[in-house]
Amino acid sequence: MASTDKMTDKASAVLLKILCIHGYRQTGKTFREKTGSLRKALKKHAEFVYMDAPNLIKSKSDESAATNEERGWWFSDSEGGFRAAEKTEVNPGYNESVETIAEALKEQGPFDGVLAFSQGAAMLALICGLKEQGDTRFQFNFAILVAGFRSLSSGHDNCFREKITFPTLHVFGDTDQVIPKESSEEMLQYFTEPVVLHHTGGHYVPATSAEKKVYIPFLEAQVKRKKEESETNS
């Protein structure tokens, strides 16, 4: 399921359409709620569409139960748990997530870009790798990765075989206690000329006037690039 931050037809004609991928233990709905300030800050530049991960997470209070309020993109163990810093040979749920994102891009699109947070940003990095290697299911032109990190599942190593060459913006907080900024910085090596946005906060999507000074020029550059490509192809 996906929910759209709707705009007027007139405004939509000039907006970038961005697919939003939530973090671990979130849903598209909760991620939309948590990014209200971002949507407000960028309402003249982008339309945001939110989707759900396909994998339900077991309830903390009842290990036999799952809740629609908590979802994830893959697990780092066979018991349905996830730890970003855990090296593992397994990634249950990952293939289902690849298919779900491909389906969202096809059915909800076309999209100009994808924005993702935390485990979602780690998932987006893998999708970027597949796209760079020629997987035609992933049609978008730029990516914004907030509090991202490299997956430590050995099954994902192939996604980092080639450097990602299309535009990316990487956002991370100096005081993030969930995904330390060092983990986000370490992932930059897999991208060509990444744009980096540091903020002084923790584990969230920042949207103050300071961050707008980076978000907006990045998005405006994507609009310019889109127009140039359209003129070249016409």
pTM of the model: 0.90
Q: What is the DSSP letter of 59?
A: P
46-51/55-58 β-pairing: unpaired
Burial (CB count <10 Å: 0-12, 13-18, 19+), residue 231? exposed
CATH number, domain of 152, equals 3.40.50.1820
List the Cα angle 118/221/73 in 5-degree steps.
Answer: 20
Q: Structurally, how many domains does the chain consist of?
A: 1
| 7-19 residue pLDDT tens | 434 433 468 999 9
Predicted confidence pLDDT, tens digits, the chain (234 residues): 555 554 434 433 468 999 999 999 999 999 999 999 999 999 999 999 999 999 999 876 555 445 568 999 999 999 899 999 999 999 999 999 999 999 999 999 999 999 999 999 999 999 999 999 999 999 999 999 999 999 999 999 999 999 999 999 999 999 999 999 999 999 999 999 999 999 999 999 999 999 999 999 999 999 998 888 877 776
Residues taking part in catalysis: 118, 176, 203
Expressed as residue numbers, the domain containing 78 is 2-233
What is the amino acid identity at position 198? H
Helix ranges restricted to H, the chain: 9-12, 28-34, 36-41, 94-108, 119-132, 181-187, 209-233
